[in-house]
Structure 1
Amino acid sequence: IIKRTTERKRTRPISYGMKGNFQTILIIGFIVAALLGILVFSGAIKIGNDTTQKGALGTVVLWGTVKTGIIATALDDFNRTNQSLILKYVQKDPETFDQDLLEALASGVGPDLFFLPDNLAFHYKNRIFPIPYESYSLASFKNNFAGAGEVFLTSKGILAFPIAIDPLVMYYNRSMLDANSIVYPPTSWDEFTELVPSLTKKDENKKIIKSATALGQFSNITNAKDIISTLFMQAGNPILSEEKGYFISTLGDSGRVDLGPILGFYTDFSNPLKESYSWNRSLPDSQDFFSADGLAFYFGYAGELKSLINKNPNLNFLPAPVPQIKNSNFKLTSARVTGVAVSSFSKNLNTAFIAASLLANSDFASKFANALNIAPARRDLLALKPTDAYFPIFYSSALYAKAWLDPSPEDTDDIFRGMVENVLSNKMTTYDAVKDASAKLNLLLVN
């Protein structure tokens, strides 16, 4: 069906029209950061493979939006283990994090470190001190962290040390599959589409009452952008690439596979004339429909497990890997990645570097991921497979997951929504819709 040739929380960046004192502090901060950078490049400040605490003194402040109570044990254990420094965690509201950070930098009291979600890495890249590869080698990074963590790699250095990976998986309703004599969930998209007609139930008026899957639309499909991104990346398109320090869209790259058929595969699930028709915009939100026992397959993140259980404790479901392109020589799913970044305005840069490296070590990373019910980013931890009903799938999926450097989650939501709706409304061919989305993404990357 697909031939390979090759919704997360929205946050809109606030206005940067701040003047006066903030601009002065900004300039001074960059000068200080640049001088410290010279020390790092020269080897006067060493980080990376040396995870000792030599030279780490004082208090470093870490900001994040994770609730303190959830990771309190991990933070306490970190401070007990690393007594030459003190790590102080400050929980911030996700809705005001950006504003709080700018105001703190303007007043000179910003954090030394902050937890960085991958979908905000592009937005914050100018407030991050990139860790140079001379101090933490690319080989060490790839050896220590799963591929999804590479979203933090740029030509200038490492934006953040990956800590946790939340992979996209396919939750399936066991009762619905059992009732239709389906022994195992599909592993390829070919198998997946073959099951759609038998699992989609309609009433006498052809109205869908139970569906195989929620694909083909955008507004009522949780994680729609990430599902489409997964299909594109499975086809060999990374969505973005960096050339000479600048990021560009690869969606419309003529040197790569035409993504039009891939987009068409997705939108066909919402086309009443297609055999794969199983979803339309009149149906409920996909996560709610799955929880209400109305959906056989739901594409969601590992981090959604607790919410799904709480919504319907009696729902008989399990996770499975996202289907792959048949006969592909690699596996791929999307992921949300959390890392720890060093602020370019830190007044204790050496200790901040060391603290960031220690936070990415096995002990804290394991406890952090477990507290959030997601997978760790470290390869050595992913090798230790759990034995429960859920986490073996989460761990294996995290190992081959990928992410892309989203320049603005809210704006790219609009771009992907437009791409889908232009096809569904017959305003554009799938080829033109992808080209249009690529052009809009490039405009976003330069603004």
Structure 2
Amino acid sequence: MLKKILTISLISVFFLTTGFGCKGLSQAQVSSIKPVKLTYWTVYNDVDMLRSLASEYSTRYPHVAIEIRQVNYDEFDNLFTNALADDVGPDVVSQHVRWLRKNEIRLLPAPVATKMGRLVIVNNFSKDQQLITDTNSLPSATYIKNSYVKTVYDDVVVGDKIYGLPLAMDTLSIFYNQDLLDRAGIAEAPKDWNSFVEDVKKMTKFSSAGDIVQSGTALGTANNINAATDILAMFMTQSGIKITMGNTVTFASSLGNAQDRNVPILNALDFYTDFAQPTKEAYSWNEKKPEALDEFIRGKVGFYFGYSYDY
């Protein structure tokens, strides 16, 4: 089974290196313009942009066809695994960086450079063609370390090999349903966590049987919240906890000396899980609920934690 490359840049710096007459091409030269079809999967709403870039690339290299396919975020992992098992997986994927290490064994690192052949007309009268070979240089690990924020290097460089290139940086945000806030008499979005909890309580509604029919927020679980890990890390960070120091995971270091639950990491965990505890005032969510984003779209969640690609 062939391993696949995580991502490539469709916009590269091209350097003219050599030229050959079209007649009497060597086998290697003929192979460089052999028709190729690449499949590109993306979980983001960037299909139009990618198709535009793919079209530009194919204009320069007519022997390369690039098919762009948008894959549902929630279905990507299963579809990707099955496609690779059947040897019909994509050649290029745009995926969330948190999936990179999980899929690392399925991927090939980026090469230092690639060479692409293309035929160009050198005589408009005779239509004689010449084979040009372009060398496309890809970013090095050193370049990534010096040109991007630190997390990019830490995430995509493994053993000095590059397994991906960043398409964008995103920030965890709180989206809110203005209609639900208005109905609950909430004049403006909360500016601190105490106000947030109070507003969640106002928007959460229960049936006569005690089931949640409207959630003030979707927090407290992991199975039905896409960004659960990031949200919990955010609460830990805001509590003053250092998740890592260098290459060492340190967020649980204070637990060894804890005599009670009044330590930052446990306070952060308690704050997060209280929203899924029926005995807590903040209770507004549980593991039986559908996916958080789906419920937010249906107008059943007041505050939703997510990223811009959810919009």
Deviation at 1:197, TM superposition (A): 2.3
In 2, the alpha carbon distance for the partners of 1:222 and 1:116 equals 14
TM-score (norm 2): 0.59
Deviation at 1:212, TM superposition (A): 1.1
1:66 aligns to 2:42 (yes or no): yes
1:210 aligns to 2:217 (yes or no): no
1:138 aligns to 2:115 (yes or no): no
Partner amino acid, structure 1, of 2:214: K
Does the CA-based 8 Å contact 1:116-1:160 persist in structure 2?
no
In 2, the alpha carbon distance for the partners of 1:104 and 1:84 equals 26
Q: Percent identity?
A: 25
Q: Does the C-alpha gap of structure 1 residues 303 and 273 become closer, same or farther in structure 2, counting only changes over 3 Å?
A: same
Q: 2:98 matched to which residue of 1? A: 119
Q: Does the C-alpha gap of structure 1 residues 161 and 56 become closer, same or farther in structure 2, counting only changes over 3 Å?
A: farther
TM-score (norm 1): 0.43
Q: 2:300 matched to which residue of 1? A: 294
Partner amino acid, structure 1, of 2:202: S
Does the CA-based 8 Å contact 2:225-2:292 persist in structure 1?
yes
Q: 1:129 matched to which residue of 2? A: 109
In 1, the alpha carbon distance for the partners of 2:298 and 2:86 equals 44
In 2, the alpha carbon distance for the partners of 1:160 and 1:116 equals 10
Question: 5+ unaligned residues in a row in structure 2: which ranges?
Answer: 4-8, 19-31, 113-138, 257-262
Deviation at 1:268, TM superposition (A): 1.0
Larger Rg: 2
Q: Does the C-alpha gap of structure 1 residues 295 and 114 become closer, same or farther in structure 2, counting only changes over 3 Å?
A: closer
Give the match's secondary structure for 1:54: strand
Does the CA-based 8 Å contact 2:141-2:162 persist in structure 1?
no
Deviation at 1:150, TM superposition (A): 5.3
Equivalenced residue count is 247
Partner amino acid, structure 1, of 2:165: F
Superposed CA offset, 1:126-172 (max 9, x none): 54336685652522233xxx956752244625432211345543221
In 1, the alpha carbon distance for the partners of 2:153 and 2:214 equals 37
Q: 1:252 matched to which residue of 2? A: 252
Q: Which of the residues 267, 275, 297 maps onto 1:269?
A: 275
Give the match's secondary structure for 1:162: coil
Give the match's secondary structure for 2:99: helix
After TM superposition, the structure 1 = structure 2 runs for residues 41-440 of structure 1, keeping only pairs within 5 Å, are 52-54=13-15, 58=32, 62-66=38-42, 70=48, 71-80=50-59, 83=60, 88-90=65-67, 94=76, 95=78, 97-98=80-81, 111=91, 114-115=93-94, 117-125=96-104, 127-129=107-109, 133=140, 136=143, 138-142=145-149, 151-154=155-158, 156-165=160-169, 167-202=171-206, 207-235=211-239, 243=247, 249-254=249-254, 258-305=264-311
Partner amino acid, structure 2, of 1:181: G
Q: 1:405 matched to which residue of 2? A: none
In 2, the alpha carbon distance for the partners of 1:135 and 1:262 equals 36
Question: 5+ unaligned residues in a row in structure 1: which ranges?
Answer: 1-21, 27-47, 306-447
More strand by share: 2
Does the CA-based 8 Å contact 1:195-1:212 persist in structure 2?
yes
Higher RCO (CA < 8 A, seq sep 6+)? 1
Does the CA-based 8 Å contact 2:217-2:301 persist in structure 1?
yes
Q: Does the C-alpha gap of structure 1 residues 221 and 97 become closer, same or farther in structure 2, counting only changes over 3 Å?
A: closer
Partner amino acid, structure 2, of 1:75: A
More helix by share: 1
Q: Does the C-alpha gap of structure 1 residues 235 and 54 become closer, same or farther in structure 2, counting only changes over 3 Å?
A: farther
In 2, the alpha carbon distance for the partners of 1:101 and 1:280 equals 34
In 1, the alpha carbon distance for the partners of 2:253 and 2:273 equals 21
Deviation at 1:233, TM superposition (A): 4.7
